[in-house]
């Protein structure tokens, strides 16, 4: 099966990848409980054998456990067969704060290298843009990491056209990762043309609409607890459920941390409790292994606990993906029905058709659909064989034209390219 997938040049800096990548997030996070390591390693090895060698992860997936999984999968000479991309910047501390200051960039890179058990990251993205730090400062530190041999190529994710231009002026940007699919096309107006003007490759995440183009509005019927597409308007855990998780994580002495957890109407404001819990850990355990480690490790620890709370439904949250609320899916189901009709005509599945549409955007585009099942992976590879005429492309695009899709990609509080402008470089004062 090896060699079935063609190779493409991603950007103009020399990076070559498989024409389709493998998004690894769902193996460890976001789409329900983490999947067994053994099964996921088998899937990764199967993908590589098939010719899909471009693997995508991030330090926030898990958090951190997805990188560790990739590190295990790449042992025994496998590392040399892949192009490995990971990301930094979205802190797993409960506040979903974005960081792009030099000290954090370097610490995040060192931590990812250790978890992945590698010496150099092939493609290192800033996962989200820190709007408090001039992009020139962040890219300047990444440039140093390239010069030190810790990173080969630099990427951005969810960055605006102007941010991309400013970043590219400091050091060539190899790739920009964006959500691009039949029902997420707002990047086409300005960002895609900017990338092509500058010779920057485009990596399309969620090319299947986070599973929508596999099953349409029925997708909610099969979602498990902990799947972030299923999050309701408000999910507030009790004081006791949070303490139960803390005790499970750190033992009985975690009860002494309870005084540091702010209580709000019987639940917790997740933007606050992680910060005070961090202080509590440092105060209660002055001689512990956690306090002996860097503050960066402490942030990881707090983030790990916070995401476990989300997984078990014991923390406050909000609608992260409005498009997946039942009323919006019900409205959008006609999009899937139309795609399904064309797929039947073409002799392929609707997901293959939607993925083929992304592939037909150009040789500078690499979609990275994720999956946790080998059979679904094989189906995704089949999309490479689906050929679309210009007329069919126009027909598909008409199904999800502007104003047809109901529901935003993310809630307005979440960082995207639409709110990614950074201060001018002249405003920066290093601390």
pLDDT at 279: 53
Residue 132 tokens, joined: 């408090």
Tell me, yes or no, whether 182 lies in a domain.
Answer: yes
Final residue of a structural domain among 293, 311, 329: 311
Q: Which residues of 107-122 are buried (b: 16+ CB within 10 A; e: fewer)?
A: bbbebbbebbebebbb
For residues 36 and 135, membership in a common domain is answered with yes
Q: Are 45 and 82 in contact (CB under 8 A)?
A: no
Tell me, yes or no, whether 171 lies in a domain.
Answer: yes
Classify 377 as helix, strand or coil. Answer: helix
Q: What is the CATH number of the domain that holds 122?
A: 3.20.20.100
Q: Are 245 and 309 in contact (CB under 8 A)?
A: yes
Predicted TM-score (pTM) of the model is 0.81
Q: What residues form DSSP beta bridges with 157?
A: 177
For residues 104 and 78, membership in a common domain is answered with yes
For residues 270 and 362, membership in a common domain is answered with no
Tell me, yes or no, whether 262 lies in a domain.
Answer: yes
Catalytic residue among 31, 61, 124, 205: 61
- Considering its fold, how many domains does the chain have in total? 2
Final residue of a structural domain among 261, 276, 311: 311
For residues 281 and 191, membership in a common domain is answered with no
For residues 42 and 127, membership in a common domain is answered with yes
Tell me, yes or no, whether 233 lies in a domain.
Answer: no
Of 343, 340, 351, 341, residue with least CA distance to 381:
351
Average pLDDT over all residues of the chain: 83
For residues 185 and 67, membership in a common domain is answered with yes
pLDDT at 29: 78
Identify whether 61 is a catalytic site residue: yes
Tell me, yes or no, whether 248 lies in a domain.
Answer: yes
Q: What residues form DSSP beta bridges with 124?
A: 86, 154
For residues 113 and 202, membership in a common domain is answered with yes
Tell me, yes or no, whether 140 lies in a domain.
Answer: yes
- What interhelical angle do 326-346 and 390-399 show, nearest 10? 160
Residue 397 tokens, joined: 């695009």
Which positions of the chain have pLDDT values less than 50? 1-3, 94, 232-240, 262-276, 284-298, 312-318
Range(s) of the domain holding residue 262: 239-311
Q: Between vectors from CA 311 to CA 307 and to CA 314, what angle results, nearest 5°?
A: 90
List pLDDT tens digits, range 297-356: 445 555 555 555 555 444 444 456 778 788 888 888 899 999 999 999 999 999 999 999
Q: Between vectors from CA 84 to CA 81 and to CA 90, what angle results, nearest 5°?
A: 165
């Amino acid at each position: 099966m090896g060699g079935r997938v063609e190779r493409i040049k991603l950007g103009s800096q020399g990076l070559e990848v498989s024409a389709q990548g493998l998004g690894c997030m769902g193996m460890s996070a976001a789409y329900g409980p983490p999947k067994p390591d053994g099964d996921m390693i088998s899937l990764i090895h199967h993908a590589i054998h098939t010719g899909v060698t471009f693997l995508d992860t991030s330090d926030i997936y898990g958090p951190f456990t997805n990188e560790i999984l990739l590190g295990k999968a790449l042992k025994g000479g496998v590392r040399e067969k892949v192009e490995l991309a990971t990301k930094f910047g979205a802190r797993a501390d409960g506040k979903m704060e974005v960081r792009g200051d030099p000290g954090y960039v370097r610490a995040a890179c060192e931590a990812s290298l250790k978890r992945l058990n590698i010496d150099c990251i092939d493609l290192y993205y800033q996962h989200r843009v820190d709007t408090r730090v001039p992009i020139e400062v962040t890219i300047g530190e990444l440039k140093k990491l390239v010069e030190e041999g810790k990173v080969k190529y630099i990427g951005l994710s969810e960055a605006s056209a102007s941010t991309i231009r400013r970043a590219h002026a400091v050091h060539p940007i190899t790739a920009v990762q964006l959500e691009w699919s039949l029902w997420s096309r707002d990047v086409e107006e300005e960002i895609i043309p900017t990338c092509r003007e500058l010779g920057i490759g485009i990596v399309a995440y969620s090319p299947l609409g986070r599973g929508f183009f596999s099953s349409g509005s029925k997708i909610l019927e099969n979602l498990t607890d902990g799947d972030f597409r299923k999050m309701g308007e408000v999910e507030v855990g009790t004081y006791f459920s949070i303490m139960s998780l803390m005790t499970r994580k750190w033992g009985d002495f975690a009860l002494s941390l309870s005084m540091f957890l702010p209580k709000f109407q019987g639940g917790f404001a997740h933007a606050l409790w992680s910060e005070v819990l961090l202080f509590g850990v440092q105060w209660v355990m002055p001689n512990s292994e956690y306090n002996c480690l860097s503050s960066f490790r402490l942030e990881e620890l707090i983030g790990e606990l916070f995401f476990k709370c989300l997984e078990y439904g014991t923390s406050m949250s909000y609608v992260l993906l409005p498009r997946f609320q039942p009323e919006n899916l019900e409205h959008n189901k006609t999009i899937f029905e139309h795609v399904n009709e064309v797929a039947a005509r073409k002799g392929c599945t609707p997901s293959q058709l939607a993925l083929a549409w992304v592939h037909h955007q150009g040789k500078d585009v690499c979609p990275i659909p994720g999956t946790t099942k080998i059979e679904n992976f094989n189906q995704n590879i089949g999309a490479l064989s689906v050929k679309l005429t210009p007329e069919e492309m126009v027909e598909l695009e008409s199904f999800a034209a502007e104003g047809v899709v109901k529901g935003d990609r993310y809630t307005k509080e979440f960082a995207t390219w639409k709110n990614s402008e950074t201060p001018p470089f002249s405003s920066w004062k290093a601390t």
